Amino acid sequence: MNYHILTLFPDMVADGLNTSIIGRAADKGLLSIEAINIRDYTKEKHGHVDDAPYGGGAGMVMQALPVCEAYEALCKRLGKRPKVLYMTPQGRVFNQTIARELAGEEDLVFLCGHYEGIDERALEMIVSDCLSIGDYVLTGGELPAMVMIDCISRLIPGVLSNDSSAEIESFHDNLLEYPQYTRPEIYEGRRVPEVLLSGHHKRIEQWRREQSIRRTWERRPDLLDGANLTEKEMIFLKSLGSEAKKDLQI
């Protein structure tokens, strides 16, 4: 996977992504991260990349020319026109399914806006998809791009030390992850659940699955519609509802 980030703050993304797991994956050649400075493509004397909005209003708008020229130069260099993802709160909300789809691409371009946004004509000309990381407004698209790159990268084979750990994750099978424990066995009087010390793999697996279902029911019940539950697990899920009703009656 080759990521190309079009931004006015290349240091921000380069510094943010060259550490930890993603940085190591880049060192290993499993992915590459290139921050392209949009400012390098302006033709204005003082390096301006923005101007006041036509029609008036607050703030500045990023001009179409440097954005389009930055992308076209990249396409020329690559010999292809990779997908451009524009980071905006107006986009589809990014999730694990979108991450899985994008992980199959060879090259991805992340377009990061600043100020009051980017001239609409540039967006019409080069953007393939608008993506958001949630219903709140940030000062720019760099953090959303970094969030998405982190999420997509951990799905690339070899990036996580253990391939299977990307699969056993929150949202795999639409269920949240079960609770985890490590040594010591007792911390501040709180014991690790007995079943995890039993060495009984089948019972541990069943306990974990039930914990996942319970957590999802408590914290993200909206996900349960898409979960694949066995008949026995459906009965367990219903029992959680009855448990809660009983608690209310006490």
Binding mask 211-250 for ligand ADE (x = CB under 6 A): ----------------------------------------
* Residue 81 CB, nearest approach to ligand ADE (Å): 22
User: Which of 4, 25, 141, 149 forms a contact with ligand ADE (CB under 6 A)?
Assistant: 141
Of 150 and 233, CB closest to ligand ADE = 150
Given CA atoms 93, 94, 98, 104 in this order, what sign does their dihedral have? Answer: positive
Q: Name, in order, each residue with C-beta under 8 angstroms of 58's C-beta and a sequence gap of 6 or more.
A: 116
DSSP letters along 12-35, please? HHHHHHSSHHHHHHHHTTS-EEEE
Nearest to 47 by CA among 34, 70, 74, 66: 66
Regarding 144 and contact with ligand ADE (CB under 6 A), the answer is yes
Binding part of the chain for ligand ADE, among 3-11, 129-137, 210-218, 221-229 by CB under 6 A, reads 129-137
Interface with ligand ADE in residues 88-127 (CB under 6 A): 88-89
d(CA 236, CA 77): 56
How far apart are CB 72 and ligand ADE at their closest, in Å? 23
User: How far is 123 from 85, CA to CA, in rounded Å?
Assistant: 10
Binding test (CB under 6 A) with ligand ADE, winner from 5, 74, 85, 87: 87
Cα–chain-centroid distance for residue 1?
15
Q: What does the binding site for ligand ADE look like in residue numbers (CB under 6 A)?
A: 87-89, 132-134, 136-138, 141, 144
